[in-house]
Structure 1
């Protein structure tokens, strides 16, 4: 998980990939723990980010930061 905060870059990154249909997210809540798990999937095949938190919004942000870090590090090619 990324420790820095870059909300504008993060939002632009996620929105751009969503609009191009290259990135999608799957959100699930565990009924017992009430914990949300959000997974970002790139091109329907590669898991690029995953976040877990009691808040769906926070879990989604964690997953998006992880995905952005992987793209910036060159671990995943557009």
Structure 2
């Protein structure tokens, strides 16, 4: 596999495809986002369970969204 380095002023940058090659073909950003959204959904569902079935559904959706947002801000 050929990798290209893009020279931009003071540093070189790998593109996403090249970076996945360096990481062994694993998109670790996607893995991290998936884990945080899953954890957020589980926590949200447990909190939402206090409000019954609609609370579980809403808690899962909101928890997953919050997990994704927090991961994006941290990344």
TM-score (normalizing by structure 2) = 0.31
TM-score (normalizing by structure 1) = 0.30
Q: Which has the higher strand share?
A: 1
